């Protein structure tokens, strides 16, 4: 993936051009005084969060809720 570093002031005046570059796969990093401040990248339609197709056997890990629900006094 190609990365392009652009000062914020330049990014303001060339935003449409930078959006087209981001859409084509270039990662644009906006800088202020030479330090990275923000990233512009292509939008990717997120898939469903990863989940196990079938959960593991709970006995394998023990009781994970009991320590959390114990009274802490």
For the cut 70, the answer to whether the pLDDT of residue 70 exceeds it is: no
pLDDT in tens, 17-47: 999 999 999 999 999 999 999 999 998 877 7
**Judging by beta carbons within 10 Å of its beta carbon (0-12, 13-18, 19+), is residue 28 exposed, middle or buried?**
buried
Per-residue pLDDT at 3 exceeds 80:
yes
pTM to 2 decimal places: 0.60
At 9, which helix (H) or strand (E)?
helix 8-13
Fold of 1-43: YefM-like fold (3.40.1620)
Neighbours of 18 (CB within 10 A): 19
Predicted confidence at residue 38, as pLDDT, reads 96
């Amino acid at each position: 993936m190609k990365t392009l570093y652009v000062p914020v002031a330049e990014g303001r005046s060339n935003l449409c051009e930078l959006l087209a570059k981001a859409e084509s796969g270039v990662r644009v990093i906006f800088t202020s005084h030479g330090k990275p401040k923000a990233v512009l990248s292509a939008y990717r339609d997120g898939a469903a969060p990863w989940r196990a197709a079938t959960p593991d056997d709970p006995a394998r890990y023990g009781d994970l809720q009991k320590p959390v629900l114990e009274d802490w006094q």
